[in-house]
Each structure stands twice: as C-alpha cells, then as structure tokens.
C-alpha cells in the first residue's frame, strides 16, 4: 500500500472515529468518513493489549495485504479506520479476509440506503 493511501495523523484518526459511522464483527471495527480526495485512505490500528510490536505488526501486514488484494472493489473516495479486535487473533488469514469483505459489503449497503433516503 502506498503512503498516499494511508491515514497517519492522530487528528485524522480522531475525525474519522468521531463520525460514529461504523460496522463491526468479531474481528474488526471499520469506521468510515467521506473525503474529497479522488482515492481511498486506510488507517490500521491494533491495540497494545493484544501483544508486543512484532505481534501487532504481523496483523497490520495481514490487513494491508487484504486491502491491497481487494482495493478495486471499494474505490469510492472514503477514509477508513480499521481496528483489529481480540476476537480475530485465532482466525486464519482466509477467515480474516472473509470478515473484512463482509464488513465492506455491509458498509456499501449502508451507503446505498443513506443515498436513497435523501
């Protein structure tokens, strides 16, 4: 994932999370906020409670890999914060991938519903 597509600053994380627009399952919580950029940006967070830096970075690499594999399926100028939850620790890469895709599809349905409501 290129640095251009990463949410890095604490201020950006706070703005996105403060929108309270999220979906969650056992492995992830995904917050979303509209942006005026022509591309999506992603921020990944893994709590220190889950383990040491090596362990947290391992899961961040897995999440980045999932994002890179499916980035064409969610090109909609959004900012996302992906928080890895304790329930995802014992899941395989394929299960994590399926959990992520399920949440992204659910997010897309929520967007379509909101647009129809307007």
Number of CB atoms found within 10 A of residue 104's CB: 20
Which pLDDT tens digits describe the chain residue by residue (118 residues)?
666 678 888 998 999 999 888 999 999 999 999 888 888 889 999 999 999 999 999 999 999 999 888 877 766 788 899 999 998 889 999 999 999 999 888 866 665 544 444 4
On the 0-12 / 13-18 / 19+ scale of CB atoms within 10 A, 84 is: buried
Integer Cα distance of 59 and 97 in angstroms? 12
Write down the pTM of the prediction.
0.83
Sequence spans of domains, the chain? 3-108
Domain 3-108 fold is: Ribosomal Protein S5; domain 2 (3.30.230)
CA distance 34 to 104: 14
């Amino acid at each position: 994932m290129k640095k251009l597509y990463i949410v890095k600053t604490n201020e950006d994380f706070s703005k996105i999370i403060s929108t309270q627009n999220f979906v969650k399952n056992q492995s992830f919580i995904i917050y979303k906020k509209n942006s005026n950029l022509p591309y999506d940006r992603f921020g990944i967070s893994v709590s220190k409670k889950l383990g040491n830096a090596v362990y947290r970075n391992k899961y961040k690499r897995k999440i980045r890999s999932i994002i890179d594999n499916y980035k064409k399926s969610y090109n909609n100028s959004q900012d996302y914060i992906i928080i890895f939850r304790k329930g995802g620790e014992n899941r395989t890469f394929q299960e994590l991938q399926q959990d992520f895709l399920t949440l992204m599809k659910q997010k897309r349905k929520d967007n379509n519903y909101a647009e129809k409501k307007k």
